[in-house]
């Protein structure tokens, strides 16, 4: 089998550390033949380190879309541009890996789903946390029926202080939001995936901007409050059509003792489970009744650096390209990612109106 010819649009932090490193880790499946970025120095550096012998550099993403020799495009740009670039690539006959979040609005996400279906091309979204050892283990626990019916989930994406001060993370115009759309999206994706339930009934949300002007204590350094145009924390209550509920918490800065990120709590009729993070390691515990006694399992399915971007990027690219090769589905379906975007949009809308959003 010939290798997939891959072009990447956007080679910033995630584009490089997760996706280019992930592509390099799957050199048997692909070659990086085009690099696009508005920063020519950054693009040339990426080309020199990761590109094939015939790799070229451009500042115009249309060049990659119009290049008939490219099979797959990775979209790692500002959130606001995901829909336009992805749809153009799909229309041009490319398969697409789009970094999370899928889009800023539900309408854009639905357009991406429709375009993929109509063109017959494969679209997936970068929710790499599904591939961690702990999440794979917990998915097996859920699929085996050990928790019974999961009717309550808590999606955790909370940092005490962890505002990203590089790039455009705090620019609402380019990103569409703050921690909710940045890290809350991962936690919500996991909760919905574990529950296997994407039928949303209503969403109620609250959004706060309480610590925007308090940059002290941020490990990544302070920020300019004048350019901080997004929320610092957000919370959602999601009710599903079957009566199940999800509580979502997302914050870059919140005065709590125990932060939790890309983690979930699952509550079922036969047992419960929690993912927690200790340093760079995730752990899963399961609690249930056994022989008429309450038991809690020892932490399991954890590994050092199990949340490492490069490690997960390599796994993510491997499963995506193998799915393309074998004609199977990638682990993240665009229809699933679309629901995540619709819920996030509804949390913002509910917070603005003070009323629940009905689906």
> 332 lies in a domain?
no
0.85 surpassed by pTM: yes
- Residues 50, 171 within the same domain: no
> 316 lies in a domain?
no
Q: What pLDDT was estimated at residue 303?
A: 58
> 322 lies in a domain?
no
- Residues 147, 287 within the same domain: yes
From 126, 145, 161, the end of a domain falls on 126
- Residues 121, 191 within the same domain: no
- Residues 75, 189 within the same domain: no
- Residues 43, 176 within the same domain: no
- Residues 103, 166 within the same domain: no
From 126, 149, 178, the end of a domain falls on 126
Q: What pLDDT was estimated at residue 100?
A: 98
- Residues 51, 12 within the same domain: yes
β-pairing, 95-98 with 281-290?
A: unpaired
Q: What pLDDT was estimated at residue 125?
A: 98
Residue of 52, 62, 127 whose CA lies nearest to 89: 62
Separate counts of helices (H) and strands (E) for the chain: 12, 15
Residue pLDDT tens, the chain, 359 long? 699 999 999 999 999 999 999 999 999 999 999 999 999 999 999 999 999 999 999 999 999 999 999 999 999 999 999 999 999 999 999 999 999 999 999 999 999 999 999 999 999 999 999 999 999 999 999 999 999 999 999 999 999 999 999 889 999 999 999 999 999 999 999 999 999 999 999 999 999 999 989 999 898 888 889 899 999 999 999 999 999 999 999 999 999 999 999 999 999 999 999 998 877 789 999 999 988 998 898 776 665 556 688 899 999 999 999 999 999 999 999 999 999 999 999 999 999 999 999 99
- 273: domain CATH number? 3.30.360.10
- Residues 184, 59 within the same domain: no
> 331 lies in a domain?
no
> 252 lies in a domain?
yes
- Residues 109, 171 within the same domain: no
- Residues 106, 159 within the same domain: no
For residue 160, give its domain range.
130-310+340-358
Q: What pLDDT was estimated at residue 223?
A: 86
Q: How far apart are CA 204 and CA 192, in angstroms?
A: 16
Residue of 303, 208, 300 whose CA lies nearest to 253: 208
Q: What pLDDT was estimated at residue 239?
A: 98
Structural domain tally of the chain? 2
- Residues 277, 200 within the same domain: yes
- 57: domain CATH number? 3.40.50.720
> 226 lies in a domain?
yes
Burial class (CB in 10 A: 0-12, 13-18, 19+), 265: middle
Q: Is there a contact between 336 and 198 (Cβ–Cβ < 8 Å)?
A: yes
- Residues 243, 170 within the same domain: yes
φ and ψ at residue 201, rounded to 5 degrees: -100, -50
> 335 lies in a domain?
no
Give the rounded distance of the alpha carbon of 212 from its chain centre: 24
**DSSP structure string for 73-106:** EEE-S-GGGHHHHHHHHHHTT-EEEEPSSS-SSH
């Amino acid at each position: 089998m010939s290798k997939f010819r891959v072009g990447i649009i956007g080679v910033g932090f995630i584009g490089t550390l997760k996706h280019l490193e992930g592509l390099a880790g799957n050199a048997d499946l692909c070659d990086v033949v085009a690099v696009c970025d508005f920063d020519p120095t950054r693009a040339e550096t990426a080309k020199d380190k990761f590109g094939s012998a015939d790799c070229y550099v451009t500042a115009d993403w249309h060049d990659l879309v119009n290049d008939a020799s490219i099979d797959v495009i990775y979209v790692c740009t500002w959130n606001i541009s995901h829909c336009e670039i992805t749809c153009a690539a799909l229309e041009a006959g490319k398969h697409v890996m789009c970094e999370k979040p899928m889009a800023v609005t539900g309408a854009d996400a639905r357009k991406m789903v429709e375009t993929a279906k109509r063109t017959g091309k494969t679209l997936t979204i970068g929710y790499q946390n599904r591939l961690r050892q702990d999440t794979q283990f917990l998915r097996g626990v859920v699929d085996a029926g050990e928790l019974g019916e999961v009717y309550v989930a808590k999606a955790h994406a909370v940092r005490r202080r962890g505002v990203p001060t590089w790039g455009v993370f705090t620019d609402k115009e380019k990103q569409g939001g703050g921690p909710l759309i940045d890290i809350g999206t991962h936690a919500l994706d996991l909760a919905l995936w574990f529950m296997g339930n994407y039928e949303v009934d209503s969403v109620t949300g609250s959004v706060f901007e309480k610590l925007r002007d308090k940059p002290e204590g941020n490990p990544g350094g302070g920020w300019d409050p004048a350019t901080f145009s997004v929320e610092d924390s957000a919370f959602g209550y999601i009710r599903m059509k079957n009566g199940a509920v999800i509580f979502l918490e997302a914050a870059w800065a919140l005065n709590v003792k125990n932060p939790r990120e890309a983690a979930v709590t699952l509550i079922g009729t036969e047992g419960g489970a929690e993912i927690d993070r200790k340093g760079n390691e995730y752990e899963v515990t399961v609690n249930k009744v056994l022989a008429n006694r309450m038991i809690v399992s020892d932490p399991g399915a954890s590994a050092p650096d199990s949340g490492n971007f490069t490690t997960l990027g390599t796994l993510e690219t491997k499963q995506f390209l193998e799915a393309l090769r074998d004609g199977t589905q990638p682990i993240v379906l665009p229809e699933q990612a679309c629901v995540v975007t619709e819920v996030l949009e509804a949390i913002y809308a509910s917070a603005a109106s003070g009323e629940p959003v009905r689906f």
